[in-house]
Structure 1
Amino acid sequence: MADEPRPAPPNGPGPRPRILVIDDEANLPEFLKDFLEENGFEVSMAYNGKGALKASLENPPDAIILDVDLPDTDGYSLCRSMRRTSTLRTVPIVMLTALADKRNEIAGLRAGADDYLTKPIDTERLLARLENALSRNLRELDANPLTHLPGNTSILQEMERRLNNQDPFAVVYADLNNFKAFNDRYGFLRGDQAIKLAAQCIVMAVEGRAAQSTSVVGQWFVGHVGGDDFIVILPASHAEDACQEIIHRFDAAVPNLYDEEDRRNGYIHGKDRKGEAQKFPFIGVALVIVSNGDKRYTHPGEISSTASELKSYAKSFQKSTYVMDRRSGPTEPMAPSAAASDVTPAPDILHGFDFGLKSPEDK
């Protein structure tokens, strides 16, 4: 009986899947690079754990081939570190080892690897497993196709897990100001660049803070709700610092998205939602912090409702700012360049959960 045909190699139109090969063995990395490129992949190389983690966070690959034996760490530890990051938690990882031992295979799978191959490498088997892993990832995961960040299903699961565990945490909702005017002025491709820039600034700020606080690395999460909306889940004590860093990074980088004349002006010409001509400032990021430090929330819909009440207020500033929920007192805008002003919070009425769910009181 003839073999079943494997999925067609990724040689069609569109970007090629990007593979990161992490291996320091003489000749093998270059051999794998040549083989994978011949079969339609874009390949980058790393030869130690530190360089691999840096490269994969700066430019997340679509899949990773990871050798167990590295000069500065072992593949199991590196795999676990990758799985703790928001960017790499869903990326398929195939581990390689020279030891055909059941215990090593189990250790790799428990560290978070999706598959395991022993050396010498059967390249056809490796290719088939890579193709299967990529296809499975696209089908099963809800990662946003533009930013590769976890989507709504993962966000909901993460929030429910922390609520069920009664963990103290904060949720930061991020949205872009003046994004529609920018999209109208420059088009959707430039708009996608703005969304990717926002994602990069959020991830770099959060991952940087997490790296400085090793005791709470597993408590940091970044998700992409869709469009220009993002969510960060993190320890409440780090929420304000993270927001300040997001604002600093985004405001420093966003002028580069504009043409030279618009950069000189500091604004663009456009039309508001009523069709009237208006000058629009540069895109800013509006952030809302909702904390569950006192464990008063029991359902994600309640958190979303509080954030919705504050979101329009945060966006009213037109520039980058963040707003904290202070139910025991006033809710106030907080930004490095803006003075705080008090506002009475909206009534604690539950609205529909943004991701299509309802809170218990809405059922």
Structure 2
Amino acid sequence: MSGSEQNRRILLLHSDPLEIERLTAGLNRSGFTVVAADAGRLAMHELVHDPPCLVLAAEGTHGRSADTLARDLRADPFLGRLPLIMLVRDIRVNDLDWATLGVDDYIAVPYRPDEVPQRVRLCLSRLERSLDANPLTRLPGNSTILHETTARIESRQPFALAYLDIDNFKSFNDRYGYARGDEVLVVTCRILTTVVSELTGTDGFVGHVGGDDFVFMSAPSSIDAICQTLIKRFDLVIPDFYDPEDRQAGFIDSVDRRGNHERFPIMSLSIAVVTNEHRVISHPGDVSKIASELKKVAKSRPGSVYVKDGRKTDSADSASESTC
């Protein structure tokens, strides 16, 4: 269940009792619970105990302009963290500097009865996507990945899901620093999204689990070409991230905490591919379990490889098909 479905409590700040009644009735019909208050007399202890998911504030509440009201709300340690929609008279819309006002959306007054709950839902949906997205790559995060995986399982249509991991990424980070490591993640994201888009169109999906772990999905018929193209493009560009001496040597020469010398090869990809072509997959946990086993196989092999599950049973002696 998404965050917006769990918490549908709206804090309404307004000075007009008739408008409060009208807005409350419309939001209630759409499944929201409304806490109405004057911005100057908030029972903060009640709000903290049962926090709202969004603030809907009307210009003029407690005699404050839109600028002042938005600034005061954003400065509040508690309310400032919540998404804010401002109700503004239509003749005032072009007078405000929306880029600096610090609101998430506005609704022009007068408004249609169904407009307010629709805009509230859209605002919460945007917030949920924003919070789930990886801050570096802007790819969907774990919540969206789980939702997409579940949807593909429940569709009962053939699908392939792949976990991608960058080998030797930590040693690269240790040697060159996080800034250059972030560049590698961004380039990997660009390669991945481009390849999946080129080879699957709207059927594809790409997500970022975190760090150097990514997920992508497609129809089984496309997955081999995706993996092969990914590896080709990644292996082509990744050596350029190394200093010339390391690139020429083909590895990073490092010393661990005990003073032992270690050699870490140039970064490569390990990709574990799970499909429901040969077995029934009924839960996202099944995907994770199978992928974990395949990833161990992929990481045991040098260079960039992808390993695709070809087993028709869960028995330990069932061989998995691997392709490099």
Q: How many corresponding residue pairs?
A: 219
How has the CA–CA distance of structure 1 residues 123 and 266 changed in structure 2, closer, same or farther, with 3 Å as cutoff? farther
TM-score (norm 1): 0.55
Q: Distance in 1 between matches of 2:303 and 2:257?
A: 18
Q: Is the 8 A contact 1:184 1:270 kept in 2?
A: no
SS in 2 for 1:264: helix
**Residue number in structure 2 paired with 1:209:** 199
**Residue number in structure 1 paired with 2:323:** 334
Please tell me whether residue 260 in structure 1 is matched to residue 232 in structure 2. Answer: no
Amino acid of the structure 2 residue aligned with 1:190: R
Q: Is the 8 A contact 1:324 1:333 kept in 2?
A: yes
Query: For 2:291, which of 282, 296, 307 is the aligned residue?
Result: 307
How has the CA–CA distance of structure 1 residues 170 and 5 changed in structure 2, closer, same or farther, with 3 Å as cutoff? same
What is the CA RMSD across the aligned residues, in angstroms? 3.0
Q: Distance in 2 between matches of 1:135 and 1:304?
A: 27
User: What are the ranges of 5 or more consecutive residues in structure 2 without an aligned counterpart?
Assistant: 1-62, 72-89, 106-123, 313-317
Amino acid of the structure 2 residue aligned with 1:159: T
Q: Distance in 2 between matches of 1:7 and 1:273?
A: 55
What's the CA shift for 1:136?
5.3
**Residue number in structure 1 paired with 2:223:** 239
Identity among equivalent positions (%) equals 40
**Residue number in structure 2 paired with 1:67:** none
TM-score (norm 2): 0.61
What's the CA shift for 1:274?
7.3
Q: Is the 8 A contact 1:6 1:128 kept in 2?
A: no
Please tell me whether residue 181 in structure 1 is matched to residue 171 in structure 2. Answer: yes
**Residue number in structure 1 paired with 2:66:** 4
Larger Rg: 2
What's the CA shift for 1:122?
3.6
Q: Distance in 2 between matches of 1:291 and 1:184?
A: 35
Please tell me whether residue 199 in structure 1 is matched to residue 189 in structure 2. Answer: yes
How has the CA–CA distance of structure 1 residues 143 and 131 changed in structure 2, closer, same or farther, with 3 Å as cutoff? same
Q: Which has the higher helix share?
A: 2
Q: Distance in 2 between matches of 1:7 and 1:197?
A: 42
What's the CA shift for 1:137?
3.5
SS in 2 for 1:145: coil
Amino acid of the structure 1 residue aligned with 2:206: V
What's the CA shift for 1:257?
0.8
Please tell me whether residue 147 in structure 1 is matched to residue 137 in structure 2. Answer: yes
Query: For 1:278, which of 262, 265, 275 is the aligned residue?
Result: 262
User: After superposition, what is the alpha-carbon deviation per residue over 1:223-247, rounded to whole angstroms, capped at 9, x for unaligned?
Assistant: 0000100000110110010000110
What's the CA shift for 1:146?
0.6
User: What are the ranges of 5 or more consecutive residues in structure 1 without an aligned counterpart?
Assistant: 10-117, 211-216, 336-363
What's the CA shift for 1:330?
2.5
